Amino acid sequence: MIGIFGGTFDPIHNGHTSVIKNFLDIVNFDELIVIPNGNPPHKEKRTNAEDKLEMTELALEHIKNLKIDNREIKKDTSSYAYSTLQELQKENSTDTLVWIMGTDSFMNIESWYCYEEFINSVNFLVLERPGHSIRQESVAGTLLKSRKISSFKEFSDNKGKIFLLKINPIKITSTHIRTMISKDQDVTSLLHPSVYKYIKLNKLYKNIHG
């Protein structure tokens, strides 16, 4: 079973690392593929894609059975989850794939490119984030009602199943860190030391707010 975890990671911080370690302790993935988004269609581009890739590698390279995938970073066009999934399925045709996302992303799943095809093509591990509850009458709520499973074993030989996983709450956000850096505030406790060093060396996030 292979987990797929995408994110803007702008910058990647200790909250991301903690979440990854948290769900890896609970779910027995054979491999976790982490995909930094190059040009996410839902978010503003702030940082050079290569910088994001380098920071992600610095923060996560020590985690066992984790692979950082640069396919979206290399694209000049917008990166869509469904397109990436199709590529990964061809490359891992004999494996069960599980797409990992937070409730904040899943609750807006109907806004994703080809979302119906996407949700029918892969299993989902949805990480419960405090303050982001899924409304029962929403598209995400309806999907959860009909597809929610109670055991990871049900992922095997299936597609379109959803497991809702409670994780330790993380209060750090990339937005807050970017703002702190732009104001010359201390963020050493929020970032991997190598990531902090890289940001300082390359003067990232100095002229942006939010």
- One-letter amino acid at 198 equals Y
Token pair recorded at residue 103: 């409730």
Q: What is the pTM of this model?
A: 0.91
pLDDT value of position 26? 92
Token pair recorded at residue 115: 């979302």
Query: Average pLDDT in the 32-54 region?
Result: 79
Superfamily of domain 2-171: HUPs (3.40.50.620)
Token pair recorded at residue 35: 């995909």
Strands (E), 51-174: 66-68, 97-102, 123-128, 162-166
pLDDT value of position 16? 94
- One-letter amino acid at 7 equals G
Task: Give the largest CA-CA distance in the chain.
Answer: 50
pLDDT value of position 41? 56
User: Does residue 74 register a pLDDT over 70?
Assistant: yes
Please tell me the distance from the alpha carbon of residue 53 to that of residue 75, in angstroms, as a whole number.
Answer: 13
Strands (E), 8-96: 31-36, 66-68
Query: Average pLDDT in the 136-140 region?
Result: 93
Among residues 93, 101, 90, 91, the alpha carbon closest in space to that of 123 is found at 101
Percent of residues in the chain assigned helix, strand, coil, to nearest 5: 40, 15, 45
Please tell me the distance from the alpha carbon of residue 50 to that of residue 137, in angstroms, as a whole number.
Answer: 40
Selected residue with higher pLDDT from 126 and 158? 126
- Provide CB contacts within 8 A for 109, sequence distance 6+: 115, 118, 119, 139, 140, 143
Query: Average pLDDT in the 141-153 region?
Result: 94
- One-letter amino acid at 180 equals M
pLDDT value of position 9? 93
Q: Using pLDDT thresholds of 50, 70 and 90, give the confidence band for residue 5.
A: very high
Mean pLDDT, the chain, whole residue set:
91
Query: Average pLDDT in the 40-55 region?
Result: 76
User: Does residue 42 register a pLDDT over 60?
Assistant: no
pLDDT value of position 149? 96
Please tell me the distance from the alpha carbon of residue 149 to that of residue 153, in angstroms, as a whole number.
Answer: 9
DSSP state for residue 155 in the 8-state scheme: G
Of 6-10, 45-49, 165-169, where does the model show the most confidence? Answer: 6-10
Kindly tell me the number of DSSP H helices and DSSP E strands found in the chain: 8, 6
